Amino acid sequence: MMPIQELRRLLEGAFPGDRIDLHSDDNHHFQLLIVSPLFAEKSRVEQHQLVYRALGDAMREAVHALALKTFTPEQWERHQGRG
């Protein structure tokens, strides 16, 4: 098990200054939203691979399940306008 603060630190290192919303009720199952310009011109798979790389070994050892949503700032703005 890895504390959520450690996962957040890994993500903030890979996505400095970007929006990172990470939540967990049990430190095994996580919900993650990241809004980053690093996702521009990348497929959804490539975006998720960036996140998996940032989490490194934690994906194999500490994270049992990850519900992941990735957006560019422009996509996020449009997404927020839907409501």
Encode pLDDT of 11-69 as tens digits.
999 999 999 999 999 888 999 999 999 999 999 999 999 999 999 998 888 888 999 99
Task: Average the pLDDT over 5-11 and give the result.
Answer: 95
Q: Indicate if the pLDDT at residue 2 is higher than 80.
A: no
Which homologous superfamily does the CATH classification assign to the domain defined by 4-67? BolA-like (3.30.300.90)
CB 37 within 8 A of CB 72: yes
Measured between alpha carbons, how far is residue 35 from residues 3, 13, 42, 77 in Å? 22, 14, 13, 10
Residue ranges per structural domain of the chain:
4-67
Task: Indicate if the pLDDT at residue 83 is higher than 70.
Answer: no
